[in-house]
Structure 1
Amino acid sequence: MSNLAQKRILLGITGGIAAYKSIELIRLLTKAGADVQVVLTEGAKAFVTEMTLQAISGHPVRSTLLDPNAEAGMGHIELAKWADLIVIAPASADFMARYTQGMANDLLSTLCIATESPVLIAPAMNQAMWRHPATQTNAKLLAERGVLSIGPADGAQACGDIGPGRMSEPANIFNTIAAHFQTKNIEQDLAGQHWVITAGPTMEAIDPVRYISNHSSGKMGYALASSALKRGAAVTLISGPVQCIPPKGVNLISIKSADEMLAACEQAMEKQADVFIGAAAVADFKMKIATDQKMKKKSDSDEIQLTLIKNPDIIATLVQHNRSKIIVGFAAETQNVIEYAKGKLERKGLDIIIANDVSRSDIGFNQDENQVTVITKEKTWEPAKAAKSELANQLVNFIHEHTQTN
């Protein structure tokens, strides 16, 4: 039986072109046995119809705060108490702003303020709106208050822009909801353990304006941190510059360069950690000398030469110093993925390596889904393609089992 059977999910839909995806989300949830009720904002009515949503969910759709028929029994409070989980998909920038301020000027915002159940948001908006400091501040505040989130994804948008802001795909949101109910009953089997996890890219300065970096979004590392945290571990998350929202309760250390990441790792692991996971995409090279002033173009030349030197090998350094009982590395490759990963496992003396084919556009960097190969000295395991949140749960379980048998 699905762990969503008979779970009561209130789905809030706000105004945005991504609202059409919510129809598929309802279908997936009801197929898994969940009881879904839908609440629309006025803006959402421009994109989806109440009749369609009612037909798929099997319940009348609510949209009015002061509905005389429902409010005879304080209907909005009853609905807030009814839900095991409130999901807002899509969650617009406007809704996030009002929710952050604690406003209750329509039915959906009132439910979110009145409920004692968890709330999961799936942001969806133009890339500039998502990147705006106000939206980023709102996202961080909501996370600090315990609001769960998934996405947004990166890619082409309806307006023609390309960047972060797309609502996560319904299948990924569904998997996140399923994982939420699964982890609610998970034994706190990592209690007393300290996990150190790195995530995101590093940025190596060329001058005060330019830098060397890569496309890592940090989503996999943040998902691993969230999963370990839910199972009771104390988690230190050392992160390069990303737009991910850190899970509540994690010890976040923000860095930019590989040198800063190494120093943060060594400090976090002054007392031996139980598990270290190097999920960050650390730049292999940095400038031999980063200039103090912006490098200017020379009018008599179409070329410029940069002298690069190797960055410190963070994982190899930690292995050498024996700073963790179990050390897990990632191998992000575009060719000969398994071969290169096995070489890295042996060369660096790792316990586990997770090979990731970043040449594929459907997984890896900036995607909500991933597919990896997990390699140890004894065996190779290939979990199915899944949302990074779901895959993280499987990887944490594999790593924990490995610690028990080695």
Structure 2
Amino acid sequence: MKSKKLFPLSLLLNVLLLIGLFYIVSQTDFAAEAKKNYGPAGKEGTEISTIYSSSDKESIPESNLGITMEIQGESLVLAANKPGKLSFDSLVENSVVVRSTYQRFNPESKVYIEGVDYTVDYANGEISRTPDSSIPDYSKHVLYGKKDFDHREYPDYSNHSYFIWVDYATKNGARLALPNDQSKYLSNSRQKLESGEPLSIVSYGNSITAGGEASSTDLRFQYLYGNYLKSIFPKAKVTIEDVSISGYSSSEGIKWWDTYIGKTTPDLVLVGWGMNDHNIGSNTPEQYKKNLIELVGMIKERKNAEVIIYSTFPPNHEWHYGSHSMELFAEAAKQAALEANCAYVDVYSTWMKVLERKDQSSLLGNNINHPNDFGHWLYEQAFEAMSF
């Protein structure tokens, strides 16, 4: 008899508990939680770089949307009151933090205020400046709205002073880079990583590979990737060396071999040309492919090293000197890797996936052909998707 009287009371308490928990979750301020966990921008606390996270990243199929995930440090430029699109829509309420620097732990970082400096369309994943916003107005950029522009006519065409950097959570996340298995090409590298033998990685390419527009060395994609390898191989002893030739194409990569990569002793070489090959008057996709195959052959023969060829992204489509056919160069890079029997990383597809929503200028440090810090992270995501 006593247990029957207690049952309704127990049921009532459980219902009240559930209501209370629902209220707490619904009232959670993600921005406040981020500030509590990581410290306010510019103040002493835990440094954050861009993070891609989900409940189970390794099990996410490319086509599966609806994954709740977090992005930190995504870049945008905002013109007048026009909305800027993030990589994903369906944002979690109160999850958005907007700041003036890519890294949170930066004494010069400013956190902008929602409703004062910007508004958020959470459903569509868009951010807009307010009329009195302190966010720089990209419509005042010297190249804004220019068609077929020649950058040489302008003394300063950089985007750096216009970027904002956004942390947010989305309920509609998906992979930005497709998983791909390159294990048959990188067995020696894996063995060294697993055993703790030193692994020397050398990157050889143009100004992008040389770190053009990245705000620090550790935020360049190959250094991000090196840290990623150390995180999944506890014994790994990885060193990164870059010997890239800024402003030139794969032809110079062959011509000046002895001066640059010839002086190194790599175990693994990241070969990343293509942006300057793509310029008007430079190499055709066919010549670019031949050059890559020749470079891989030289690396294998002279250095006895494994190789990863990686593609690049299209430059600003309004830039006068681009041939605007990067899809052909990306395919050439892929075919070169197949014929040269080496690994391939598809940066091009990762970049194009992001461009399905975002504008090019939000990703370009020089507004022409150099990725900003978030762009270097996109490169690293493409590398991270490669299994071996």
- Alignment TM-score, normalising by the size of structure 2: 0.37
- Alignment TM-score, normalising by the size of structure 1: 0.36
Greater relative CO, 1 or 2 (CA 8 Å, sep 6+):
2
